[in-house]
Amino acid sequence: MDLNLQELAQFLIKAKKSTYAGGRAQTTGADKSKNLQFKKGKYLYRDRYFGSERFGGEEIVWQKGEPVWLMNYNGGMTKRTLDKETVFAFLRQALMQVSIEKPFRGPLSFVRDDLHYKNLILGDIIWFEGTEEILYRGETVYRVEYSGGIIK
């Protein structure tokens, strides 16, 4: 299957902004997973995860019914210095800043008031890994590790 990486990156940005980052309601699966889905043209995106304060999950993109890209993630709140609603609302703001160059999570850095989102990314859309953190007044209150890439 011929995969256009630029087109895939553009789709990922739309999908992410239209699901979790955009605050879209999720469904709950029979297995207790939380699920978000976005479809446009030949692409379908699904984000499936378990947990809330601490969580793990995966995002998968299909092109014409064939899986072509995935990302696994795991982490969550590390300290109760701040309530999770505030942290996750800030996380969604950061994730809305996702870039075409690195369409996995948020930007390298995003700051609002006393909160700082930091994202260390290695690789590209083909094969990548990263760690994102949210710091409150310099103290890490949230951390997630993620990795993924093209499926062949």
Of 14-28, 58-72, 90-104, 122-136, give the lowest mean pLDDT range: 14-28
Q: For residue range 103-130, what is the model confidence (pLDDT) as tens digits? A: 999 999 999 999 999 999 999 999 999 9
Nearest to 150 by CA among 19, 61, 33, 85: 61
Instruction: Count CB-CB contacts under 10 A for residue 113.
Output: 8
Residues 6+ apart with CB under 8 A from 81: 136, 139, 141
pLDDT of residue 22: 83
Range of the domain at 126: 5-150
The token pair at 39 is: 């479809």
Nearest-10 Cα torsion for 85, 50, 95, 89: -10
Nearest to 68 by CA among 119, 19, 7: 7
pLDDT of residue 24: 78
Residue 133, classed as helix, strand or coil, is strand
Q: Which residue has the higher pLDDT, 90 or 80?
A: 90
Number of domains in the chain: 1
User: 6: exposed, middle or buried (C-beta count within 10 Å: 0-12, 13-18, 19+)?
Assistant: exposed
Kindly state the DSSP code that residue 20 receives in the 8-state scheme: T
Instruction: Count CB-CB contacts under 10 A for residue 54.
Output: 12
Res. 21 pLDDT band, cuts 50 70 90: confident
The token pair at 12 is: 């990922």
Of 20-29, 86-95, 112-121, give the lowest mean pLDDT range: 20-29
pTM, to two decimals = 0.93
Nearest to 94 by CA among 65, 127, 135, 57: 135
Nearest to 42 by CA among 77, 70, 84, 10: 10
**Mean pLDDT over the full length of the chain:** 95
Instruction: Count CB-CB contacts under 10 A for residue 52.
Output: 11
What percent of the chain clears pLDDT 70, i.e. is strictly above it?
99
